[in-house]
Chains A and B, each alone.
Chain A
Amino acid sequence: MNPGRAAQTVYTMWLREMIRFSRSKSRIIGALVTPLFFLIILGTGFSSAFQVRGGGTFDKSYLAPGLIGMSVLFASLMGGVSIIWDREFGFLKEILIAPVSRFFVSLGKAIGGVTTAMIQGILIMIIARLIGVQYVSFWGVLAGICVMFISGIGFIGLGIAIASKIESHEGFQMVMSFLTMPLVLLSGAFFPITNLPGWLKILVYANPLTYGVEALRYFLLGKSTISIWLSIAVLVIFSIAMISLGGKLFGKMRV
């Protein structure tokens, strides 16, 4: 497949995701309202109760990167898993019958899903700023957006891999609850990870989302528990591994 056709395939799949996203206004609002509730209610509640070790309160500023990470996780996993719906409603056949490489099809789908995830993440970032969360610098915000992109690609790859293996949309609901809730709760989005008991520490450090949230904290707030270089290294490796896995399994997928 020549580069022009490959680019056109990726763009076509991206374009489709964008059109669909722009038509699902209720989905966008729903995706924004949940983290917003967390931010305002939990942020206020926590800041009255907890002190972070080394000074400062555990408040809405501390929560904001975690919630951005959470919404990127939800949006990108959903973006990947939506292949199940494409299969269920037939559109997948239209793609698989086209004279294009499946790898670029899944890449286009992934980039489309990541775009929607980033739009949601950025919107939450803006809302958080409006209700008083202070970001350290403009460059930090840009770097944070890059972190959203890298972790989004990773989770979308994971979603595509799962979707390629799940036979029905019934299995999907189960996978989502078994996957998203532990990932979010064990990511340090809702609590500081400085002083955890051993078993919890292992689970938290084995969770890729932890590194996404920590990297966001570093770039947006200027402080993080895990070193930024470690976070970036883990995220990049995770993303490359997942998108390769997703692309590979999607290539083998039968309708």
Chain B
Amino acid sequence: MLYAIETSGITKRFEEVTAVNNISISVKPGELFGLLGPNGAGKTTLINMLSTMVEPSGGNALVWGHDVVKEADLVRQNIGVVFQDTTLDDRLTGRENLDLHGRLYGLDGKTRKKRTQDVLSLVELTERADFIVKTYSGGMMRRLEIARGLMHHPKVLFLDEPTLGLDPQTRLHIWEYIHKLNKEEGVTILLTTHYMEEADRLCDRIAIIDYGQIVALDTPQDLKNMLGGDVITLGLEDPGDVGRLCSSYQKDGCANIVEGKQNEVFITVNNGERQIPHILALASQAGIPIISVSLRKPTLDDVFIHYTGRAIRDKEVSGMEEVGYKMRSRRK
């Protein structure tokens, strides 16, 4: 088996919309792969198809070598899924949730006991294990779900927006667990997120997905490099100097792109921090006074804007959605 997950032309059409449109990705065993895109881009639908919850309308997908439609049971045996909304039984304790999960996956009593301890300590919930889940905070519930998804030693773990609606500190914690899982236990992980930083920090490779299609796929670094480099912004005292300065950089050839606007000059270069002295030296040679210098490394936000023409946040309804998780769990 070459790939942990392999889809070819997988498509999901609902009545009016095509949620996932002809997506082909290959995820290597042990890889931490990210699907990055705004809400409604089709990330969750893709995960639902790969985890056998929804049948594709076209194309096919193999997860750990098994077809998601024809061999759904074999796929289910090999995957763990952490959905966006809670799927815990909040009348049971954390330990009971894990134990029932172990039973459903056919683990015997001894294995269940040991595994429960292992996964609880991994997500640092051992002390709260015998409390009813209803008393847990949002972050603890998410940790318990991750722990539960790992009970049966899945080969592939799907995480749908694993840190949605969590406070920054808890988010950092969850990132640590995900990283640890992937590097130490070797679990292949496919996660979806609309947090740029999350994708950037965690993932080996990222597919940027928009309107159900992949618009770019590479390592975070290469995605950012594709934009042509870092941007150095120089502020000038006299707007009249902008044209002259621009042409001197163009003549020098140190910059990939040079642009002037009002009293600022934008220079796109590779290795920005090493180029600043040279850039400033050229300016003083030309006798043009510089009043400010700033260096900006491209982010995945810039990559997203580059490929889709808009910022990922434009479509976001984050406030509403983030309270959604807690409200659902509280309504009972």
Question: In the assembled complex, which residues on chain B have CB atoms less than 8 Å from the CB atom of A19?
Answer: 91-92, 96
Question: In the assembled complex, which residues on chain B have CB atoms less than 8 Å from the CB atom of A12?
Answer: 100, 103-104
Check B81–A91 contact: CB distance below 8 A.
no
Check B52–A97 contact: CB distance below 8 A.
yes
**How many angstroms from the CA of A8 to the CA of B188 in the assembled complex?**
28
Point out the residue from A23, A24, A100 that lies within 8 Å of B104, measured CB to CB.
A100
Interface locus among B82-90, B195-203, B208-216: B82-90
Q: Which residues of A contact B (CB under 8 A)?
A: 5, 8-9, 11-12, 15-16, 19-20, 23-24, 85, 88-100, 254-255
Check B53–A96 contact: CB distance below 8 A.
yes
Q: B328 on the interface (CB 8 Å rule)?
A: yes
Question: In the assembled complex, which residues on chain B have CB atoms less than 8 Å from the CB atom of A93?
Answer: 53, 83, 87
- Interchain nearest-CB distance for B253 vs A (Å): 57
- Interchain nearest-CB distance for B139 vs A (Å): 17
Check A90–B328 contact: CB distance below 8 A.
yes
Residue contacts A-B, CB under 8 angstroms, 13 given: A12-B100, A12-B104, A15-B103, A23-B132, A89-B328, A90-B83, A90-B328, A92-B87, A94-B88, A94-B101, A94-B104, A94-B148, A99-B77
Check A16–B106 contact: CB distance below 8 A.
no
Q: B73 on the interface (CB 8 Å rule)?
A: yes
Q: B51 on the interface (CB 8 Å rule)?
A: yes
Q: Given that A19-B92, A98-B76 are known contacts, is A91 also in contact with B87, CB under 8 Å in the complex?
A: yes
**How many angstroms from the CA of A88 to the CA of B329 in the assembled complex?**
10
Question: In the assembled complex, which residues on chain A have CB atoms less than 8 Å from the CB atom of B85?
Answer: 90
Question: In the assembled complex, which residues on chain A have CB atoms less than 8 Å from the CB atom of B104?
Answer: 9, 12, 94-95, 98-100
Chain B contact-residue range equals 20 to 34
* Interface positions of B from 69 to 113, Cβ below 8 Å from A: 73-74, 76-77, 81, 83, 85-92, 96, 100-101, 103-106
Check B332–A89 contact: CB distance below 8 A.
yes
Question: In the assembled complex, which residues on chain A have CB atoms less than 8 Å from the CB atom of B148?
Answer: 94
Point out the residue from B73, B91, B101, B106 that lies within 8 Å of A23, measured CB to CB.
B91
**How many angstroms from the CA of A255 to the CA of B54 in the assembled complex?**
9
Question: In the assembled complex, which residues on chain B have CB atoms less than 8 Å from the CB atom of A24?
Answer: 91
Question: In the assembled complex, which residues on chain B have CB atoms less than 8 Å from the CB atom of A99?
Answer: 73-74, 76-77, 104-106
Check B89–A16 contact: CB distance below 8 A.
yes
Question: In the assembled complex, which residues on chain B have CB atoms less than 8 Å from the CB atom of A11?
Answer: 103
Check B53–A89 contact: CB distance below 8 A.
no
When C-beta atoms are compared, the residue in chain A nearest to B83 turns out to be: A93
**How many angstroms from the CA of A19 to the CA of B99 in the assembled complex?**
12
Q: 8 tightest A-B contacts by CB? A: A99-B76, A90-B87, A12-B103, A98-B104, A99-B77, A94-B87, A93-B87, A91-B89
Point out the residue from B88, B103, B106 that lies within 8 Å of A90, measured CB to CB.
B88
**How many angstroms from the CA of A255 to the CA of B55 in the assembled complex?**
12
- Interchain nearest-CB distance for A35 vs B (Å): 25
